[in-house]
Amino acid sequence: MTAPGKTKMTQRRIAELAGVSQATVSLVLNGKADSDARIPEATRQRVLDVIAGTSYVADPAARRLAGVGNKILGVFTYEPAFPSGSIDFYTPLLTGIEAEAEQHGCDLLVFTSAPVENGRRRLFHENNRLGLADGALLLGREMDPVELERLVDMQFPFVAIGRRDVPGVPYVGVDYAAGTAELVRRAVALGHRRLALLHLDSTAESVLDRQRGFREEVAAHADIRVWSGPTRGDDLVGAWTRIRDFRPTVLFVESPDHAAELRRIAIDDGVEIPREVSIVVLGEVAVHDALAVDFTRLSPPRVQLGADAVALLTRILDPDDEPTDADLRRLLDCDITDGSTLVAVVE
């Protein structure tokens, strides 16, 4: 009484079994009841009964081809989503995405097939399956602006996770500028006057935002001295040497890995952490277990980010909805984790 085995189930077969036409089956399934397509309850029930006796499900490809939405959301990650290096970055996002997609009854199409070119995936390639999804979510620290423009051009519905500078790109991001500024305020309130910023050597929006938040907040105070520069993971000893001469009382470090390493180096150098030098971390994605140390740090609401992105995308896809510009480009507040590495300055 389950699947009639061999032949593939189609609306036509259902129609035969129920003694109606294929069109009727479609109408029943889609609950249409226009003035020009009326199905009495008796017929409706008969069709539904037949369907219940089979394993029939509408072919999604055919539905899509016929022009209806599919409740499939594409998920594109610029780096492999699961491997350990990126796991802390993507997993919380995916948690939120999955939960929200479930709410909306959507499936997720993960574009794992995108070819990797010098370390990053390419969204557009010969056989991309973007078109199968109703819309797409883009995840990744950095995105190719050209690809984003192209998506905008072709009016493909999508949402980027993280603020993007490309015009017309809808996104849900994190207000790193405000978060960083708040951390600066806290440091200043604790008596810090000599701050060092060790940011990543990247032009990703999130990186620039943190620098901006830092710069602007620092400018709001008169007597603060600042040292600022990029750090590379392979020369942290050199970085430390340069910072030491500046004699900062607090380090703002973007990468948790670098922070952990610098802490080691400083301690080996005879500096007491955090009594002599506080450390604040601005990022939360660690390759190693750098966060074993209880750093005071920014904690972007990643799960929320994923969920909000899905919610926004479904709004974009809803023809009855007209998201405002503010909805389309939104920043979430960045939480701060109160760790033990930011303490008051002692004279």
Partner DNA sequence: ATCGGGTGCTAATGCGCATTAGCGTTCGGG
Partner DNA sequence: CCCGAACGCTAATGCGCATTAGCACCCGAT
| Beta-carbon contacts of residue 272 (< 8 Å; ≥ 6 apart) | none
Q: Based on CB atoms, which residue is closest to DNA, 11 or 86?
A: 11
Among 61, 219, 220, 237, binds a copy of itself (CB under 8 A): 61
Stretch that binds a copy of itself, among 37-45, 74-82, 183-191, 293-301 (CB under 8 A): 74-82
| Beta-carbon contacts of residue 285 (< 8 Å; ≥ 6 apart) | 86, 88, 89, 256
317 binds a copy of itself (CB under 8 A): no
299 binds a copy of itself (CB under 8 A): no
Residue 167 binding partner per list a copy of itself, DNA, none, with a CB distance cut-off of 5 to 8 Å that depends on partner kind: none
Among 49, 53, 68, 337, binds DNA (CB under 7 A): 68
Per residue, the 3-state secondary structure of the chain, as one string, reads CCCCCCCCCCHHHHHHHHCCCHHHHHHHHCCCCCCCCCCCHHHHHHHHHHHHCCCCCCCHHHHHHCCCCCCEEEEEECCCCCCHHHHHHHHHHHHHHHHHHHHHCCEEEECCCCCEECCEECCCCCCCCHHHCCEEEEECCCCCHHHHHHHHHCCCCEEEECCCCCCCCCEEEECHHHHHHHHHHHHHHCCCCEEEEEEECCCCHHHHHHHHHHHHHHHCCCCCEEEEEEECHHHHHHHHHHHHHHCCCEEEECCHHHHHHHHHHHHHCCCCCCCCCEEEECCCCCCCCHHHCCCEEEECCHHHHHHHHHHHHHHHHCCCCCCCHHHHEEEECCEEECCCCCCCCCC
Among 25, 28, 130, 285, binds a copy of itself (CB under 8 A): 130
72 binds DNA (CB under 7 A): no
Q: Least distance (Å) from DNA to the CB of residue 49?
A: 14
CB atoms near residue 133 (< 10 Å): 26
Q: Based on CB atoms, which residue is closest to a copy of itself, 29 or 178?
A: 29
Among 84, 118, 203, 324, binds a copy of itself (CB under 8 A): 84
Sign of the Cα torsion 287, 288, 291, 297 reads negative
67 binds DNA (CB under 7 A): yes
Q: Based on CB atoms, which residue is closest to DNA, 34 or 223?
A: 34
Q: Least distance (Å) from a copy of itself to the CB of residue 94?
A: 5
Among 23, 33, 37, 99, binds a copy of itself (CB under 8 A): 99
Residue 291 one-letter amino acid: L
83 binds a copy of itself (CB under 8 A): yes
| Beta-carbon contacts of residue 200 (< 8 Å; ≥ 6 apart) | 207, 230, 231, 254, 255, 283
Q: Least distance (Å) from a copy of itself to the CB of residue 80?
A: 6
Subset of residues 30 to 49 that bind DNA, contact rule: CB under 7 A: 30, 32, 34-40, 42-43
What is the rounded distance in angstroms from the CA atom of residue 153 to the CA atom of residue 136?
15
Among 26, 255, 304, 341, binds DNA (CB under 7 A): 26
Q: Based on CB atoms, which residue is closest to a copy of itself, 129 or 221?
A: 129
Stretch that binds a copy of itself, among 61-69, 174-182, 240-248, 288-296 (CB under 8 A): 61-69
51 binds DNA (CB under 7 A): no
Binding-site string for a copy of itself from residue 145 to residue 174, where x marks contact by CB under 8 A and - marks none: ----xx--xxx-------------------
Q: Name the residues that contact a copy of itself, by CB under 8 A.
A: 2-3, 5, 55, 57-62, 64-65, 70-72, 80-84, 87, 91, 94-95, 97-99, 101-102, 105-113, 116, 124, 126-132, 149-150, 153-155
Q: Name the residues that contact DNA, by CB under 7 A.
A: 8, 10-12, 19-24, 26-27, 29-30, 32, 34-40, 42-43, 56, 58-59, 62-63, 65-68
